[in-house]
Amino acid sequence: MQQRAEEAGTHPALSGQHVLVTGASRGIGLSIARRLAAAGAHVSLLARDPVRLAEAEAELRAETGAQLQSAAVDLTDIDAIGPALAALEAKAGPLAALVNNAGTGKSTPFARMTDAHWQEMLAVNLTSAFALTRAVVPGMVERGQGRIVNVASTAGLTGYAYVAAYCAAKHGLVGLTRALAVELAGKGITVNAVCPGYTATDMLDATLDNITAKTGRSREEALKSLVAGNPQGRPVQPEEVAEAVAFLLSPAAAAVNGTCLPVDGGEVLK
């Protein structure tokens, strides 16, 4: 395990530590889980789809040989979080770190936004992170240490048309990050966020499909329009987000607290 940690570029102190990653069955979450597993962490994976989750767990175990476990949980069901967390900690020990990655995005003009759309964006992108963080913080406080990383978005740092509810939820996640960073700093816990720009995931594919269906533009044209704000002119790769998360969980980031790190090629600078 220590050799894997050194090869992955993460301090061996991460080896054997229990880290929980939500939304871990695909996209950014799967890349984060893979990066941490390769570094020797004991990773617990949470996601809603049990089939996809089982496939992800098997894939990572074959790739890394790391200790892994998973639980299929709908994080919008707050009552399900406590039992799932208890079961995971019973198997792998107390959590050293939590990565709140679960999220989703949908677009609609604000004037046509339904109550259901608004509530879904808040529930998935903000309330689930609140509920899971609330569940893990007491144990971290008792042990005097812990790391929490929230996967927000550049939508938490700026605004985008047609995704008002998503932006509001991600701004809320950024605010939660900063508030808890101050509140928990004296307890040995750091709370940070990463804020990816458009990232090459299933969510980006769905956005491109939506644009092409509504506008008739090609996928190439649609992608070009989405990444126009990125000075690098390309989507972010999930592995690049995973590296940022790994850094924030490492001993090298012990004094990094309350930061909301853009992983966007410089988009929010424009």
Give me the residues paired with residue 99 across strands: 21, 149
Distance CA 39, CA 112 (A): 46
pLDDT at 13: 62
What residues does each domain of the chain span? 2-197+239-256, 200-235
Which one-letter amino acid corresponds to residue 44? Answer: S
What does the block give as tokens for 259? 């930061």
Which one-letter amino acid corresponds to residue 104? Answer: T
Whether the pLDDT of residue 66 is over 90: the answer is no
Selected catalytic residue, list 160, 162, 166, 198:
166
- The answer for residues whose C-beta is within 8 angstroms of residue 109's C-beta and 6 or more apart is 162
Q: How confident is the model at residue 208 (pLDDT cuts 50, 70, 90)?
A: confident
pLDDT in tens, 73-114: 999 999 999 999 999 999 999 999 999 999 999 999 999 999
* CB-count burial class (<10 Å; 0-12, 13-18, 19+) for 246: buried
pLDDT at 217: 86
Q: Considering only CA atoms, which of 113, 81, 111, 79 is closest in space to residue 98?
A: 81
Tell how strand 260-263 and strand 42-47 pair up.
Answer: unpaired
pLDDT in tens, 236-262: 899 999 999 999 999 999 999 999 999
166 assigned to active site: yes
- The answer for residues whose C-beta is within 8 angstroms of residue 69's C-beta and 6 or more apart is 43, 44, 45, 57, 88, 91, 92
pLDDT at 244: 98
Read off the pLDDT of each residue in 139-152 and give the average, rounded to a whole number. 97
**Which CATH code is given to the segment(s) 2-197+239-256?**
3.40.50.720
Q: Give the residue, 233 or 99, on which the prediction is more confident.
A: 99
Q: Which DSSP symbol is given to 162?
A: T
Whether the pLDDT of residue 4 is over 70: the answer is no
Distance CA 181, CA 256 (A): 10
pLDDT in tens, 173-204: 999 999 999 999 999 999 999 999 988 887 87
Which one-letter amino acid corresponds to residue 16? Answer: G
